[in-house]
Amino acid sequence: MKIISKYVLHEFIKLVSLSIITLIILYVVINFFENIDEFIMNHVPPSVCVRFYLFMLPRIFFEMTPYSILLATFVCISSLSQHSELTAMRAGGISLLSITKPILFVSLFVTLIAIVSNEFITPFTNQKANYIQNVLVRKGKPRSIIQENKIWYHSKNGTLWNIEYLSLRTRSFKGIHIYFYESGNSLSMRLDASTAVHDGKDWIFKDAYVRKFNDLNNPESSYFKSAKYRFSEKPEDFFRIERKENEMSMRHIHQYRQKLRNEGLDPTRYDVDFHYKISYPFICIIMALIGIPFSLRSNRAGGIVFSCGLSIIVGFVYYFLFKMFISIGYGGALPPLLSAWGLNIIALAFGFYMLLTIDSSNVSFPFFQKG
């Protein structure tokens, strides 16, 4: 039994590796030719193109792994069946579940790799890839600069910040306007400064004007070349506003959606993104569970070539349905948890049912029957 498990494990690992490499290469080639006109028109050096696709690799790996598992499962099971190895194993009293345990084990392991990679590696490389695409390729302004009056920030204590420009790279701010409110929403003080930096503890404002409205008919006004204030807000509270979902880890998305809730804003999109980052890698296991019974029957209908074609169709349909569920969640028609996990739960239940009840010698999928 151990020999058979090691054999299946070895064959499946080879197929998964080959599938991942093949799909990544196909993705890069297709994406390159889609963008080649832009590269040429903007005179992008080859070294920049290479850097762009190197930083894209973790994202491509994350997106392609479920369908690499599906393709490898179809090919592995079909190969065992076509060469009568599966029949010999079943004749020896080995159950289908025992034979396919190595496939499920590898799928779970790849799922864990995808989760860890997407949490600690992909956000950083996505930032680099997005910067290269937006600035070095499309010659746009760095997203580290936010345009005038773009940021309005409500703090927990009722302070309202308006920031005209901020730089993510230098952690500096320009055109700051801070409004202090007392109970009853009455304005008590306003601070206007040309620039501001955060030294780790305090905010240092340059060319600051402070107006106190203790007496509305005669407000006090003061000018400071440099003024130091301590607020609970840190630069990171403003930086997260500008970062895309694929540039944020699950931890950062969770913090940001909590921040939106505290400010009375709608966090639906980030709720969906949070669950998406967890649910998407688990498609690896689902693809294995679905692939095993389907590949058994597809081998009888046309062999390995038919299995490859069928795996592409199954993968495309699942990807389309999964993205449709996510889009519906963004629109608020489905709860975030259900939009990210609904299809996975249905497919997982279906896959387990098929795997536990299928008899490889008597499995029947009418739509695969030969005429």
Residue 361 has pLDDT above 70, yes or no: no
Identify which of 47-51, 198-202, 264-268, 309-313 has the greatest average pLDDT.
Answer: 47-51
277: amino acid identity, one letter? K
Identify which of 27-31, 188-192, 264-268 has the greatest average pLDDT.
Answer: 27-31
pLDDT of residue 364: 42
Cα dist from 306 to 34, 72, 257, 296, 297, whole Å = 29, 13, 45, 11, 10
Phi and psi at 228, nearest 5°, equal -115, 125
Residue 147 has pLDDT above 60, yes or no: no
83: amino acid identity, one letter? H
Cβ contacts of residue 204 below 8 Å, gap of 6+? 196, 197, 198, 226, 227, 228
3-state secondary structure of 105: helix
Structure tokens at 355: 């795997």
pLDDT band at 200 (very low <50, low <70, confident <90, very high): confident
Residue 146 has pLDDT above 60, yes or no: no
- Our measurement of the distance from residue 30's CA atom to the centroid of its chain's CA atoms, rounded to an integer in Å, reads 21
Residue 1 has pLDDT above 80, yes or no: no
Structure tokens at 128: 């680099």
Residue 344 has pLDDT above 90, yes or no: yes
Q: In this structure, are residues 176 and 193 in contact, taking their beta carbons and an 8 Å threshold?
A: yes
339: amino acid identity, one letter? S
pLDDT band at 122 (very low <50, low <70, confident <90, very high): very high
pTM: 0.76
3-state secondary structure of 213: coil
3-state secondary structure of 263: coil
pLDDT band at 150 (very low <50, low <70, confident <90, very high): low
In angstroms, how far is the first alpha carbon of the chain from the final one?
Answer: 37
pLDDT of residue 102: 93
Q: With pLDDT > 90 as the criterion, what percentage of the chain qualifies?
A: 50
147: amino acid identity, one letter? Q
Cβ contacts of residue 60 below 8 Å, gap of 6+? 24, 27, 28
pLDDT band at 366 (very low <50, low <70, confident <90, very high): very low
Q: In this structure, are residues 143 and 88 in contact, taking their beta carbons and an 8 Å threshold?
A: no
Q: Which of the residue ranges 91-95, 171-175, 190-194, 321-325 would you say has the lowest mean pLDDT?
A: 91-95
Residue 204's region, left for phi above 0, alpha for psi from -120 to 50, else beta, is beta
> What is the total residue count of the chain?
371
